[in-house]
Amino acid sequence: MLDTKARHLVQPMVDSVANVLLKAGLTANQVTCIAFFIGISSGVFIYFDQPIWALVVLWLSGFLDVVDGTMARKTTSTPFGTVLDVSFDRLVEISVLLGLAFRYPDTMWVLLLLSVSIIYCMTIFLTVGAVSEKKGIKTFYYQPGMAERTEGFIFFSLMIIFSNYLIYVALIFLAVQIFTSVQRLNEARKILT
């Protein structure tokens, strides 16, 4: 929801950083890889009980993830760049979930359920994007929903900061993911039938 509705608020800063990185000679795919390596370190910081560093690298990787897409649109976006971007995003999220699960083993059951809901919601998102004739500024149709990447980062941040309430936050996140799945399925039915 925030990615769709509030992107215009951060886009000027994203454009500025994208321009600086392009002038420095970096490509969108290189920034995608940098964001990936920064992002997966979040799970390591969580495991070693360094929540501030986990948050810093998580949000920095998320910001660079937005920047790389802007860089691609300013130059030449490629289908491979899209695959790299989307798949690396999931690995960053997996890193956070694994870091939490290994740091707080008594929460593994809820993190497993949350992981399943994220997989299912992303499956709908990617499938609709692949089969839809609707196009946007991205290389595929970006299906909006209640839980987009920024909402995920907010929930991950809450789970990292308020680890004593991790199960409750994860259950709320799970409910939001289920709602988003139903929302996306309903939209898919409307636009694909």
Angle of helix 79-103 versus helix 108-131 axis, rounded to 10: 170
**Domain, as residue range, for 42:** 2-192
Give the sign of the dihedral formed by CA 7, CA 60, CA 141, CA 123.
negative
Residue 137 has pLDDT above 90, yes or no: no
Residue/partner pairs of 163-168 with CB below 8 Å, 24 or more apart: 163/51, 163/100, 163/103, 163/104, 166/100, 166/104, 166/107, 166/110, 167/107, 167/110
Q: What is the mean pLDDT of residues 143-152?
A: 86
What average pLDDT does the chain have? 92
E strand residue ranges, the chain: none
What pTM was computed for the model?
0.90
pLDDT of residue 2: 66
Question: The domain spanning residue 184 has which CATH number?
Answer: 1.20.120.1760
Give how many domains the chain has, as a whole number: 1
